[in-house]
Chains A and B, each alone.
Chain A
Amino acid sequence: MSENNIVILGNGISGVTCARHIRKNDPNIPITIVSAETRHFFSRTALMYIYMGHMKYEHTKPYADDFWEKNDIKLLFGWVKAIDFSTQELNFEDGEVLGYKQLVLATGSKPNMFGWPGQDLNGVQGLYSYQDLLNMEKNTQDIQHAVLVGGGLIGVEMAEMLASRKIPVTFLVREKGFWDNILPKEEAALVGRHIREHHIDLKLDTELKEIIGDEKGQVKAVKTSNGEIINCQFVGLTAGVSPNIALFKNSDLNTNRGILVDDQFRTNLPNVYAIGDCAEFKKPPGKDRKNIEQVWYTGRMHGETLAHNLTREKKVGYTPGIWFNSAKFFDIEYQTYGHVPPSWENPIRTFYWEGESGKVALRFLFDQEDRILGMNAFGWRMRHEFFDRAIKEGWKADRVIGQLDKANFNPEFHKKFYKQLLDKYNGENSTSIPLPRRSFIQKLMGSRS
């Protein structure tokens, strides 16, 4: 191929964002996106809602089907079985060959399998791809009991999915608190309580020993580390994900856990880049950030940044701003801004408030100079802009707490918790931060400012 062309392997959020932004910056360069999962980009984060009947597959597509043609982005549906980096060609399973000038690898993740005995039995699966969802649909028809292994975000989602079909679930979690490798103790307890409120049999501090099959190769039970046998017809393995790099294992591409890249997403090979879940930074992209970033938002930002570098003279290094993330545990929404590790030491200090319902909580961390480091919010929506700024500018604790009304992003007429929170804060810190007063006119206008 003589002219310049960009091929993107993977039509997830990172690959698609990259393609969209390349097209924005350069109306002419040929772009091809390759994937064998679905013809069109869909939102992986919405997989659960298809199973639960909230949406159909087509609702999860962020762009209409004619968007791609309108933007002159070619979509190629096919499985790449090998890449020849020397001749710059992708080899497809069906024998097709596709040449590239520049290649963006955005192959995403795959569910972790830790070599558990029985993990290949029928009815045992992870949840990552659209195909996994179809399998789950098949595997959970007319079953009496399901077991989930591994307490992360996808685990809770699977629990919610199964619960929506009234399938009883036992949830095995190795840790002592739910997701407590990420969440501080109180938050982990809050989430654990809520999971149980939804009648999920949450077994903390319990590991999977073995998955037991019947003579037809179908799962019939699991055995736990306590020796307990739990009968089930479905096992969901949700012990995290890792970069999907099997394709590159015996190639010249440097990989570790993921595809190794520098801060401009360049791999060791010329004209080959990697973004999204499959990329591993040689150096973490920022303080308190990990080498592998496996969330939606980072995939998007990788794509945006690489698109810039592929189309502009002046290259930039990937510099993410303040960390943020969010999730939902059944009915409880969770947002986090900045850095909140599961535990901390002096001189870092915390302020934690939990509502009487036990379903709403805020956590703040402050450094030795009383500047905000990060916050967790449960059941209380917060304004991203507010905390992005407060954390970036290192606002002092009193200032942050005193202005929470401005950070509040709950719907209008939502139950107000601010006074309770202030009372607790003032009590603990011997401060007297007043509840901001709004005039009658301001209230009437429903204005936030």
Chain B
Amino acid sequence: MKLLQNLGLVLFIIGLLVFTGIPFSGSYQLDRKMVLDHTKEMHQDAMVEVLEPMYENTYASNFSFIKDFNDLFNAYNEGLKEEQAWDKVIWDDYAFPLTKAASNGPVEDAPLLFLALSIGLAVMGGLLYAIPLYRNKPAGIKHDGIYFSSMKARGWLGIITGTYLIVFYIILYWYPEYLTNLVIMVDPLSILLSGGPASQWFLYGLIYTLAILVMGVRMFRKYKGNNYQTIRTASVMFFQLAFAFLIPEILVLFNMPWHDFKNIWPLDYSFFYEYRIEGMVSSGALGMFMLIWGIILIVIGVPAFTYFYGKRWYCSWVCGCGGLAETVGDPYRQLSDKSLKAWQVERYLVHGVLVLAVVMTAVTITNYFMEFGLLEQATNQFHSLYGFAIGSAFAGVIGTGFYPFMGNRVWCRFGCPLAAYLGLVQRFKSRFRITTNGGQCISCGNCSTYCEMGIDVRWYAQRGQNIVRSSCVGCGVCSAVCPRGVLKLENGQEAGRINDMPIIIGNESIKVKS
């Protein structure tokens, strides 16, 4: 078994290395036709001319190709800006499509082979590693050695992993043209699903989904015997695969807008953007359904489900960010900051982002109905600011890249506006709570340590107080790790849910109010 697992690790690392190496392969050659094919009509003449000097060159790497492209392209735009010819400046990003088109080489010739050698090997290695985990071991908590682990306790492996993720996200969001070979590699898959070639987002969605699936299998092994964990993990795996990955691609196949039916505004912050609304409105009955369904989720779905089950119904059962955090991020859950200070920062930040998202959306909608008056510029600026700072930097780079540094829920805890909304409902109007079991707590600290949201669960448990916190995503791990059976996630009557002055059972001498 050990042998198989080690083989798995080796395969995973080979896959990862091939994946990392692929962007550096091949050569690049641009011609006039490519430029014509991949630029808007209004830009065609200009672009063909601007890029003229590149046509006779064969570039040995994407670095030199992109450098030349940027030099020429930027020089052209700068010139226009100097002349104040603002209407001629090209704002579109042509680096990605043109680099993709210009790419030649082994990956383009045999994309499936490279897909198998990179992502394929990594997935297979991951499964070979995960499936035999804890075989022949009794069900129970599997946390031995976590704080001796370089990967899980901010050692060098953790730092390397975090850095890799951060770099990957930065390239993905802001320099996707360097990833074109990887995108070419998944083109066949994209064509199969949606009928069209892949974008960097298809690549990302594929990796994301596979990561959740493989690490979900690891969760099944780790929490064997704990049905809450198993079912919850199966749920996030299903929602990611079906709702976030397959269905949206298939929609595109049928000429519908790409749509993730389980993504809810304000996490889905572009839901009310003009192009999204137009896309839905112009897509017939199904499009209308997307719009109405999305609004029902916001107005009725979130409050109703959260009233009955707490925000966990979304955050640790359905959500894609939550899905990644609960599977890929599980090894890092103990790294969340439990200090009071962190809690304060959390409340300001997460509610701040919520306010920002609401204001931005309000401006967007007003703008929509005012038919692009003065507000247009504000809206656009708002969108690019939010997209950059929150949508990309916070949710992606920090949200996932910081797993090995600050735990797996950095985004969900400090940044997600939907989590803030769900949290407000959970805190003030819900049947969900974590009940503490009388006087049984021994203050050991396992619950707080393994709380990914940084809740100091022990603080409540040791004074016999139910845990009713807006941030709790109901992952159930505190309950799982408690060695004394003190914690139970439950939905129950609202009466008695919040007990600020709890009485610990067991001492009849006095009524102890903690």
Contacts and interface: CB of A to CB of B under 8 A. Distances in A.
A-B interaction: yes
Interface of A: 13, 21, 43, 45-46, 49, 52-56, 59-62, 64, 164, 194, 197-198, 296-297, 300-301, 304-305, 308, 316-322, 324, 326-328, 330-331, 333, 335, 359, 381-385, 388, 409-415, 445-449
Given A60-B445, A381-B488, A52 B143 contact: yes
Contact of A62 (B147, B458, B485, B508): B458
B23 to A, nearest CB: 37
A54 B144 contact: yes
Contact of B445 (A46, A322, A388, A446): A46
Nearest to B230: A413
Given A55-B445, A446-B491, A414 B439 contact: no
A348 to B, nearest CB: 24
Given A52-B145, A304-B507, A385 B438 contact: yes
Given A46-B446, A413-B227, A445-B308, A320 B440 contact: no
A60 B489 CA distance: 23
B148 interface: yes
B506 A322 contact: yes
B289 interface: no
A59 B507 contact: no
Nearest to A413: B227
Contacts of B27: none
B224 to A, nearest CB: 11
Contacts of A59: 445, 448-449
Interface in B455-514: 458-459, 462, 476, 479-481, 483-485, 488-493, 504-510, 512
B427 interface: no
Contacts of B458: 62
A449 B493 contact: yes
Interface residues of B, number: 56
A21 B488 CA distance: 27
Contacts of A359: 138
A164 B144 contact: yes
Contact of B484 (A13, A328, A448): A328
A411 B147 contact: no
Interface of B: 138-141, 143-149, 226-228, 231, 308-309, 339-340, 431, 435, 437-440, 442-446, 448-449, 458-459, 462, 476, 479-481, 483-485, 488-493, 504-510, 512
B439 A333 contact: no
Contact of B228 (A46, A301, A412): A412
Given A383-B437, A411-B228, A53 B146 contact: yes
A169 to B, nearest CB: 15
Contact of A330 (B138, B340, B493): B138
A56 B146 CA distance: 10
Contacts of A318: 509
B480 A447 contact: no
Contacts of A21: 512
A321 B505 contact: yes
Contacts of A301: 506-507, 509, 512
A320 B507 contact: yes
Contact of B485 (A316, A321, A409, A447): A409
B444 to A, nearest CB: 4
Contacts of A447: 431, 491-493
B506 A43 contact: no
Nearest to A264: B509
Contact of B444 (A60, A194, A300, A413): A60
A53 B145 CA distance: 4
Nearest to A385: B438
A54 B146 contact: yes
Given A335-B440, A446-B490, A321 B462 contact: no
Given A43-B444, A53-B147, A297 B439 contact: yes
A377 to B, nearest CB: 8
B485 A381 contact: yes
Given A322-B506, A328-B484, A446-B309, 4 more contacts: A49-B446, A54-B446, A412-B489, A448-B490
7 contacts: A308-B509, A320-B507, A324-B506, A331-B141, A382-B485, A409-B488, A412-B228
Contacts of A61: 445
Contacts of A448: 490, 492
A445 B492 CA distance: 8
B473 to A, nearest CB: 15
Contact of A384 (B437, B476, B491): B437
B228 A414 contact: yes
Nearest to A54: B143
A13 B479 CA distance: 23
Contacts of A409: 435, 437, 485, 488
Choose among A54, A304, A326, A447 the residue with the greatest number of B CB atoms under 10 Å from its CB. A54
Contacts of A382: 485
A53 B438 contact: no
List the 3 closest A-B pairs by CB distance, nearest first.
A384-B438, A331-B140, A381-B485
A46 B446 CA distance: 8
B455 to A, nearest CB: 14
A288 to B, nearest CB: 15
Nearest to B510: A308
Contacts of B431: 445, 447
A304 B227 CA distance: 38
B449 A55 contact: yes
Contacts of A316: 509-510
Contacts of B146: 53-54
Nearest to B490: A448
B238 to A, nearest CB: 16
Contacts of B491: 445-447
A423 B491 CA distance: 28
Contacts of A49: 444-446
Given A13-B443, A383-B437, A384-B505, A335 B228 contact: no
